[in-house]
Amino acid sequence: MHKNVTLNKENTPSVDLTKCNTILSKYSKATHADLIPILQQIQDAYGYLPMAALEEITVRTRIPISKIYGVVTFYSQFSMEPRGRHTIKVCVGTACHIKGAPDIKKKITEVLHINEGETTSDYKFTYEPVACLGTCFLAPVMMVDGRYYGKLTIEKTETILKSY
């Protein structure tokens, strides 16, 4: 838990808030309980949570920005950095672990030159670990965007990454 979030303003492209406002307009009487669903929708729409959008949530819902920031940094699903076009989720669950997930992870780092939780400099891939994708019979497994790749080997992993 607890991610260290570094905000790099220069790298953050200026954000068009239209989509954010459309989402927020559905919550005219938003309460604290709506915060996580709002954040989930905004992240779906933008691929990440732009700072400007968080500020907009504060203005519209009156939930203090500190609380929003607290929630965003607590849950691993949320990211405040722009993300790659493809998200690689590597399962690090128990079944995958004993069937070689650590080797798969090493291979990904080797091929993409990034560690878990990072995005390639060309914004092509974001690479994150996930504890069990619920498809343990395919171990070791990874998911690229919505697609599963099971029974991975080091060679297969490399081929898959290069196919994107």
Residues lying near other proteins in the complex (CB under 8 A): 1-2, 31-37, 39-40, 67, 70-71, 74-78, 92-95, 97-100, 102-103, 106, 130-139, 141, 148, 150-151, 153-154
Cross-strand partners of 88: 127, 144
Position 139 contacts ligand FES (CB under 6 A)? yes
Give the H or E element holding residue 41: helix 35-46
Q: Is 135 an interacting residue with respect to ligand FES (CB under 6 A)?
A: yes
SS3 (DSSP) at 161: helix
> What tokens were used for 147?
């697609």
Residue from the set 53, 133, 142, 161 that interacts with ligand FES by CB under 6 A: 133
* Beta strands across the sheet bearing 118-119: 118-119, 125-130, 86-91, 142-144, 147-149
Total residue length of the chain: 164
Cβ nearer to other proteins, comparing 92 with 161: 92
Q: How many residues bind ligand FES (CB under 6 A)?
A: 12
* CB of residue 137 to ligand FES, shortest distance in Å: 8
